[in-house]
């Protein structure tokens, strides 16, 4: 099916950049399950390695806990608004609270994956061109010949260890994405700029027919969008381009 519009998301700070990357990597991890062959295994282990690299870099847990707290405060403020659905707000607050305590009591993020011997061996070889051949990684070779059930149990165990992270993140990303409506904007000669008003995330809906993509620069207070054609030689940029924008 051809979509008439395409959604682009762009982070306006480091925290959101990290969250979008983690979300993407976890999606990629589950995309090729069950792991049945070399191609699927390399896709899986490469994403595990990337995820561990991202988790090692920042204070991911601290940032997520801060955000869960912030979202709870935001919901608290809503309770005074007349005509608001108090049950829904209370249910969401409980969800945020439960997520917080699960995340707080969880072991160090990615710990189980970091300590796994097979993941460690594959991770070491991934940076070597073609370094995951059967002669380079006989452990992976034999792992791929185990009964499928055994491999499924192991991948399941690895993924379960990421659940506290995944649940907190998907709840937060849902709330962030739903925090602002799309509004129609118009760019002139492929350019648009505005104030971000402390937004974390820009979301753009572009008509697919123009085959344009956005190049976004800026941070929470100001941002600029330049629209560029996918076909850099012959592509046209319309004088006026209507698109939808949400500042979340």
Confidence (pLDDT) at 25: 97
The predicted model gives 33-62 an average pLDDT of 94
Q: Are residues 167 and 149 in the same domain?
A: yes
Q: How many CA atoms lie within 13 A of 36 on its CB side?
A: 4
Considering the domain architecture, whether residues 67 and 125 belong to the same structural domain is answered as yes
Residues 99 and 67 in one domain: yes
Q: Is the predicted pLDDT of residue 160 greater than 70, yes or no?
A: yes
Under the phi-then-psi rule, with left for phi > 0, alpha for psi from -120 to 50, and beta for the rest, what region is 197? left
Range of the domain at 158: 32-178
Rounded Cα distance, 193 and 221, in Å? 11
Query: Which of residues 100 and 236 earns the better pLDDT score?
Result: 100
Residues 122 and 48 in one domain: yes
The domain boundary residue, chosen from 156, 178, 200: 178
Same domain, 200 and 99: no
pLDDT tens readout for residues 173-196 = 999 999 999 999 999 999 999 997
Q: Has residue 1 got a pLDDT over 60?
A: no
173 and 95 co-located in one domain: yes
Q: Where does the pLDDT of residue 220 fall: very low under 50, low under 70, confident under 90, or very high at 90 and above? A: low
Among residues of the chain, what percentage have pLDDT more than 90? 83
**Which residue, of 152, 178, 204, is where some domain finishes?**
178
CA distance linking residue 131 with residue 42, whole number of Å: 11
142 occurs within a structural domain: yes
For residue 3, being part of any structural domain is answered with no
Dist. CA 11–CA 113, nearest whole Å: 27
Residues 173 and 187 in one domain: no
**pLDDT, tens digit (0-9, with 9 covering 90-100), for 93-134:** 999 999 999 999 999 999 999 999 999 999 999 999 999 999
- Going by DSSP bridges, is the β-strand pair 222-229/191-195 parallel, antiparallel, or unpaired? antiparallel
Least confident of 80-94, 105-119, 151-165: 80-94
- Total domains, the chain: 2
The residue-averaged pLDDT of 160-179 equals 95
Q: Where are the alpha helices (DSSP H) in 115-229?
A: 117-126, 138-143, 148-160, 163-177
CA 91 to CA 89: how far, in whole Å? 5
Say whether pLDDT at 135 is over 60.
yes
The CATH number of whichever domain residue 230 belongs to comes to 2.60.440.10
DSSP H/E element including 205: strand 201-207
Of 210 and 99, which is predicted with more confidence? 99
Average pLDDT, the chain: 93
What does the pLDDT read at residue 52? 96
Same domain, 42 and 134: yes
Is the Cβ–Cβ distance between 43 and 32 less than 8 Å? yes
- Find out whether 228 and 213 touch, Cβ atoms under 8 Å: yes
- 159 and 213 fall within a common domain: no
At 85 the pLDDT is 87
Question: pLDDT tens digits, residue range 69-81?
Answer: 999 998 888 888 8
Indicate the residue among 178, 208, 229 that finishes a domain.
178
| pTM attached to this predicted model | 0.92
pLDDT band at 2 (very low <50, low <70, confident <90, very high): low
Specify whether the CB–CB gap between 190 and 228 falls below 8 A: yes
Q: What is the spatial distance between Cα 122 and Cα 143, in angstroms, rounded to a whole number?
A: 11
């Amino acid at each position: 099916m051809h979509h008439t519009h395409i959604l682009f998301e762009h982070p306006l700070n480091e925290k959101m950049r990290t969250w979008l990357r983690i979300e993407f990597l976890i999606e990629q991890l589950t995309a090729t399950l069950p792991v049945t062959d070399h191609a699927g295994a390399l896709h899986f282990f490469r994403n595990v390695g990337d995820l561990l690299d991202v988790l090692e870099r920042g204070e991911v847990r601290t940032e997520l806990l801060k955000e869960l707290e912030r979202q709870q405060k935001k919901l608290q403020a809503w309770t005074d608004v007349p005509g608001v659905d108090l049950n829904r707000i209370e249910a969401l607050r409980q969800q945020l609270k439960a997520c917080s305590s699960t995340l707080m009591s969880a072991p160090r993020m990615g710990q189980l994956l970091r300590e796994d011997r097979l993941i460690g061996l594959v991770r070491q070889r991934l940076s070597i061109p073609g370094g995951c051949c059967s002669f380079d990684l006989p452990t992976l070779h034999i792992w791929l010949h185990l009964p499928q059930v055994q491999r499924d149990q192991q991948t399941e165990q690895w993924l379960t260890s990421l659940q506290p992270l995944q649940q907190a993140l998907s709840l937060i990303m849902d709330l962030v994405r739903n925090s602002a409506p799309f509004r129609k904007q118009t760019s002139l000669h492929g350019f648009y700029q505005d104030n971000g008003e402390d937004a974390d995330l820009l979301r753009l809906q572009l008509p697919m027919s123009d085959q344009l993509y956005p190049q976004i620069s800026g941070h929470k207070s100001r941002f600029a969008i330049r629209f560029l054609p996918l076909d850099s030689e012959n592509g046209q940029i319309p004088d006026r381009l209507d698109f939808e924008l949400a500042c979340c």
